[in-house]
Structure 1
């Protein structure tokens, strides 16, 4: 694992999908937030001090999010939300977290308070108290949140029962800070869809209005003009029961019931083709992951069968990782910064998959002798650390990926739900002085 940790270098954010959390030295400590003093270093001072990230934990039964210091796991702030949070995602620059409240049709944002700004010859770090942003977005069933480079697409599924159409909102950290969005687009019908941003272009899902399923069946290309999108074309290859999407530098991929739809971009030109499911595949590809350090993509089934998706050779090859037939995945998370995918199995082993030179099972090691059912995983972007939350017992563990050891454990005094890490990624820390 030491070899692995040395290779897990942080890259520009492509897909944001990690969840993290933390806690204090005791249950009583959790009830008393530590004093958070806003700090702005002098513009002429190149500070070598590392500013720790923030861990956000939403409560399962209360409308609130706890914000912790990711280094010492002390409580920094307890922030109220309008409703109980059902999903939590980091924005592209890792300063804000989108707080999805799907059944209530609301999305709020938390400013983690740790960020950096470009001062020409260096990236300048800042630390201030976390706070709830003024921006609130309303719409029917907000669900998928896909980040690419410095922008993110928030997809609202719409509502069949109330005849509300699906829509997509484009965001970035700057506009969130100003209480605004980049652009918004409404589709012609409802659907459980997604969108991927490619600069001024957006690839979004399409569903026939007469379809008997909420899932889309094709992909369309849009071009952004200021605050709205113009339709360009609909790609001919179909993608029945479409679910799951991701992108790397060359390709955008969408999971289908019969394979994967791959769209290739060359400048302003886009072309599409299908890669069929491997023979004998039970189920379907419903999740796709990608990062800048691999030309190949990682395709995942609901049973956590993993496949290396090779766009150049138009094939999928299974990534074998289970040593025993009774091994099942309890939790997983993807880190675009590491270019790695993590799985915790029902034997208490942590498996790590890397994407360099094609996706492969790089290592695994034992974390727990006993495991329960409900876990959440998340990876820090400024250190070699993985966080594991046992939701059943409300226990939090911090894992050092270099030593393969649990370095901190804390019991939470509330039922925890979703987790997210915010802060300054390692590559920005490296240029902060």
Structure 2
């Protein structure tokens, strides 16, 4: 057992001892015995279709996992440091906890997954656990998901002369604690971005002689064992690049003057730019992109304004999501099935939009708007905000004011329950089996 692993186990032991000593029933650790069902293809036992919710605690290295079948605390695990960001892996089995200031990414196995056994998908359930696989690197910041691959962009540290880098790996690396994945180190630091797509990574480039930490070029890198070969630098410039996403057909990067879209045809990659429209005022720019992997559109966030970007038509148009007065857009996500756009704002309103096909065009119409917090938003703790994550059917919203999670049925468009926490939540993510499991063995 290496030093990193021993420290993890010691952290978990100390966390458990502290919680036992405080006698607070809301943070009691209740760990279920692992349930791994024999692979006979039929009698798979009971595997929760509701999944599990991982919630981090503000100002703490402890994370809490809840069994959503009964909204009970399942386990509390101790990380090496407090995480700044939280993501779920492509199949939603693993949580990726980014400890940016401490140059580390750690991983938690949520304990629910399924495997392809040829004629059926076999579900498994076991206790959640901190895994041995970690990603060390300078200032990990942006984590993005492809269909199977994961890209982590490390910004580097200009003050200490540490260059940026990008790593590409998959869930098999996580489960096997396998460090044999490709990494590319750039020639300077940057606040960059990357998208993993098959054996390629599309990543940013920055001229080391510029004063801005934001890049303005995009390159394609091809994986070769433990490293990448730079195969192509695209001619299309992307000034002040920030934000990226990918969908079924393309990869996109947000720029100060528009969105660069990279597409493939006959194994050849080309880039084009969709310019900002007249709806952009001076200084306004898209800084975040979202997409669904099976979709054809991109969604660009510019402050509280959202643009729907259609690469085939080379157009972007305003999305009328009817923001609440004085609200700031905190998060926009596409539902796991691609049928809804879900927007959370700073005033505690949740907006759900539904997709409607009109001829060849996909449009989004307002379906529901909910006030998910009865509290005065002025009471929000300093440094906190509403956060959300999505499961197959529900939206889970962490409310730091009330110290609980609000559960919203996105199809019904109404609050269906809550999960009391007893601590101030920071980030959260849903872990479980995406979609319906094969054979009806998930309940």
Short-chain TM bin: 0.7 to 0.9
1:172–1:428 CA distance, 2 compared to 1 (3 A): farther
Q: After superposition, give the CA deviation of every residue in 1:57-91 in whole Å (9 maximum; x if it has no partner).
A: 11111111111112221111110001111111111
Paired with 1:432 and 1:221, the residues of 2 have a C-alpha distance of 42
Q: Displacement of 1:295 after TM fit?
A: 1.7
1:346–1:170 CA distance, 2 compared to 1 (3 A): closer
Pairwise CA RMSD: 2.1
Q: Does 1:385 align with 2:385?
A: no
Q: Displacement of 1:35 after TM fit?
A: 3.3
Structure 2 counterpart of 1:394, from 392, 395, 403: 403
Q: Does 1:43 align with 2:1?
A: no
Match in the other structure for 1:204: 203
Task: Report the secondary structure of 2:287's partner residue.
Answer: strand
Paired with 2:254 and 2:64, the residues of 1 have a C-alpha distance of 34
Task: Report the secondary structure of 1:240's partner residue.
Answer: coil
Match in the other structure for 1:423: 432
In structure 2, the gaps of 5 or more residues are 1-22
Of the two structures, which has the highest relative contact order with CA contacts closer than 8 Å and spacing of 6 or more? Answer: 1
Name which of structure 1's ranges 227-236 and 405-414 shifts more when overlaid on structure 2.
Answer: 405-414
Q: After superposition, give the CA deviation of every residue in 1:325-373 in whole Å (9 maximum; x if it has no partner).
A: x252453241451323312345543212345643523312323455515
Task: Report the secondary structure of 1:143's partner residue.
Answer: strand
TM-score when scaled to structure 1? 0.88
Q: Does 1:265 align with 2:264?
A: yes
Paired with 1:404 and 1:280, the residues of 2 have a C-alpha distance of 30
1:429–1:203 CA distance, 2 compared to 1 (3 A): same
Match in the other structure for 2:418: 409
1:408–1:359 CA distance, 2 compared to 1 (3 A): same
Q: Displacement of 1:136 after TM fit?
A: 1.8
Paired with 1:428 and 1:230, the residues of 2 have a C-alpha distance of 39
Task: Report the secondary structure of 1:160's partner residue.
Answer: coil
Q: After superposition, give the CA deviation of every residue in 1:132-166 in whole Å (9 maximum; x if it has no partner).
A: 11012211100100001011001100000001010
2:343–2:352 CA contact under 8 A, matched in 1 = yes
Q: Displacement of 1:309 after TM fit?
A: 0.7
Aligned pairs (5 A) from 1:103-114:
103-114=101-112
2:37–2:45 CA contact under 8 A, matched in 1 = no
TM-score when scaled to structure 2? 0.86
Match in the other structure for 2:178: 180
Paired with 1:277 and 1:135, the residues of 2 have a C-alpha distance of 41
Q: Displacement of 1:393 after TM fit?
A: 2.9
Task: Report the secondary structure of 1:103's partner residue.
Answer: helix
In structure 1, the gaps of 5 or more residues are 1-26
1:60–1:85 CA contact under 8 A, matched in 2 = no
Q: Displacement of 1:429 after TM fit?
A: 5.1
